[in-house]
Structure 1
Amino acid sequence: MIHPHTCRRTTRSTALSFWVLALSLPSSAMAEFQPLDDSSLSGVSGQAGITIELETKINIDRLSWTDEGTLSVNNMRLSGHNDTTLDNLKLTVDIAGTGEVLEHGFSEIARRANAGLLSTSDPDVADALAKYSVNGEFGKQFNSGDLVIHLGATNYGAETSLTDYLQAIDFELAVGSLTTTGTEGSATLFSDVLLQGYVGPTDLVIRNDSATTRTLANGNQVSGAELQLDTHFKVTNGSLNWEAADLIFLFNFAAVRIEGLQIHNRRGNDTLGHFGMASATAKISRGTSAATGKDGLSIHDVEFRADIDMPIFKVGQASIGSVSFTDFAITDTTMMVYGH
């Protein structure tokens, strides 16, 4: 325990030492210290944000949700290709000022196109330049207090190469199995999942608008303070055993083996602005259900767009050929999540 009198003596001696040091400075050095009045201070702000360069590998032995039974994700790993470190990641974190333009989506492509490093004869490049050019800057305009987190690459390679840009961040996701367990036994939904691919620009934005609400098309009320997710990615090689599960409540398969899985956006009528990558967007906030009046977690304005190729599609031990989807789109999707 430190006696209070000792603290006061320490404080006085520290202050005395500071003034002795200050008085010992030459007059030329003292001349550099100038007081700031209120008008000077009003122009001082930190607008640079922070940058985080990240390398990681994530392993989870088991992730479980237990109610009357248990749903478990077993032996999950997120890494770079071939179980290497997930690296070359750069996070920029900013709190926006009023009307501030910050990096978002493919704004880096727009900057390069404007500098003549990429040709606008490529429709995707021309679209990025038109979409992300804002008053001589490149990005998206935000409101005061919005928290903006942008995931990109530390090193994109050659500035004139779109391929380098789109393959700058490689990932590998492996899951041993997804199982359900109850008093009557257990069942495996998926097993031996392995997905390899590339992550494109990904943005998380927390909008600073808690004072307002809005009404969705289905009547649900949602808060204006919401988390907004926008991401692009592609899976170049994937495989999994589909034991028994639904695909987005549309298709139910069992005893299926898929190899050579690819998820992208290279064909069809929905490719513009995506640079061949699948895309997903969603907004998350507090909400109130119009149907039940329940408060819960609203997941709304959900959109997913992709082409999906399954060149090796086995039922049992035999292949039945290939399966593919073109312009696979999930839109106008809203979920209200609450306990019961």
Structure 2
Amino acid sequence: MSFLIPEARKFLVCLSLMAGASIAVPAMAEFQPLDDTTLAGVTGQAGVTIELETKLNIDHLIWTDEGSLGINGLRLSGQNDTVLDNMKLTIDIAGSGEVLEHGFSEIARRANAGLLDTSNPDVADALAKYSVGGSFGKQFDNGDLVIHLGASDYGDPTSLTDYLQAVDFELAIDSITTTGSEGSASLFSNILLQGYIGPTDLVIRNNGGATRTLANGNVVSGSELQLDTHFEISNGSLNWDAADVILLFNFAAVGIEGLQIHNRRGADTLGHFGMAHAKANLSRGTSAASGKEGLSVHDVEFRADIDMPVFRMGDTSIGSVQFTDFAITNTNLMVYGH
């Protein structure tokens, strides 16, 4: 309720209008109209950056059906049980055609600035692949959610080694076991993996209700989660107590020491900077074979070289094992309950 008399109220209104006009006139002189061409080049630049350090311990992780599968004594940390740190997550929702950080785009940015030698085939490949219209990254569609994991500090900007080893990790698992009415059995034990995390991307593609059909006939949603990661295992060991590989080879009582997973030799090293590469897309899907709906894991790809310098059968080493250009391609999975 106002207690001003009408004349005073009119005076204050006039005074407010005059003050607003005195501010607005010079301010309007600074504004320039944007035509359609200019507006087309404007994209959202806001996003969220998270600097992350963590250490994860899980005593028991158990999946129970008629029996149970247990993962015991899991630890994720930095190497030598230190804190997993120097990680940076950038999270963006893309505008139409927006170029955002992806893969080795930081390498392309440095190469363009003359900080890295483009006579290196990997550097030249990154510059060609991630240079998009004056920006560096990958172009996305409107509404795509893009999460990029890199390092907070890459060290010397002219050093590829500093870049590739900026984020180190260690994964340790005491054992993986199964339990049923007949007792329990150990599948794997004393697992230790040390290495480096390269650029890792999670993208949720916004494609509405559209679907597409895979080569095997499965129908999958066009809105999907896309995972793309590079990594290296520099030292690993495990005991393979009782397990089948591709239903053909039984590796019971196998011990592996000095395990390395990388991509430094063979015919498919280009663009990977010596790191193993894995990617997969996940979405809702319908199986062409059974008609069942479930989780579709499709367009799966894994490329690496694998070295096992100590390969034991029981307590005796039988020598070393190497895989060159180990590749899993053209792989699709449909996962559903029964």
Fold agreement, TM-score > 0.5 = yes
Structure 1 match to 2:139 = 141
Q: What residue number does 2:127 align with?
A: 129
5 Å-filtered alignment, 1:200-279, equals 200-249=198-247, 251-279=249-277
CA shift for structure 1 position 250: 5.1
Which consecutive segments of 4 or more residues in structure 1 shift more than 4 A?
A: 32-35, 43-46
Pairing partner for 1:69 from 56, 67, 70: 67
Residue 10 of structure 2 corresponds to none
Inter-partner Cα distance in structure 2 for 1:32 and 1:250 = 79
Distance 1:45 1:273 in 2: 29
Change (3 A) 1:249 1:269: farther
Which residue of 2 is the match for residue 151 of structure 1? 149
Deviations 1:211-249 (A, max 9, x none): 210000000000000000000000000011010113354
Alignment of 1:79-228 (within 5 A): 79-228=77-226
Deviation of 1:46 (Å): 5.0
Aligned pairs for 1:304-315 within 5 A: 304-315=302-313
Secondary structure at 2:169's aligned position in 1?
strand
Query: For 2:65 and 2:127, how far apart are their aligned partners in 1?
Result: 49
TM (normalized to structure 1)?
Answer: 0.88
Residue deviations 1:165-193, cap 9 Å, x none?
Answer: 00000000000000000011011000000
Change (3 A) 1:97 1:89: same
Give the 5 Å matches for 1:261-340.
261-340=259-338
Identify unmatched segments of 5+ residues in structure 2. Answer: 1-14
CA distance in 1, matches of 2:240, 2:205: 38
The one-letter amino acid paired with 2:324 is T
* Matching residue of 1:12: none
- Cα gap change, 1:250/1:133 in structure 2, threshold over 3 Å: closer, same or farther? farther
Count of residue correspondences: 314
CA shift, 1:251, in A, is 3.1
Once residues 291 and 153 of structure 2 are traced to their aligned partners in structure 1, the CA distance between those partners, rounded to angstroms, is: 49
1:251 and 1:147 map into 2 onto residues whose CA distance is 41
User: What is the letter of the counterpart of residue 257 of structure 1?
Assistant: G
> Alpha-carbon deviations, 1:37-58, whole Å to 9, x = none?
xx99xx8985221100000000
Contact 2:126 2:271 in 1 (8 A): yes
Aligned-partner SS, 2:216: coil
- Over 3 Å counting, the alpha-carbon distance change for 1:235 and 1:248 in structure 2 is farther
Match of 1:14 in 2: none
1:23-77 CA-to-partner distances (Å, cap 9, x unmatched) read 9xxx79x948989xxx99xx89852211000000000111111100000110000
| TM-score normalized by the length of structure 2 | 0.88
Question: In the TM superposition, what is the alpha-carbon distance from 1:87 to its structure 2 partner?
Answer: 0.1
Amino acid paired to 1:279? H
Distance 1:32 1:263 in 2: 64
Structure 1 residue runs of 5 or longer lacking an equivalent are 1-22
CA distance in 1, matches of 2:53, 2:198: 16
C-alpha separation in 2, matches of 1:49 and 1:250: 48
Match of 2:108, SS? helix
| Amino acid paired to 1:267 | R
3-state SS of 1:254 partner: coil
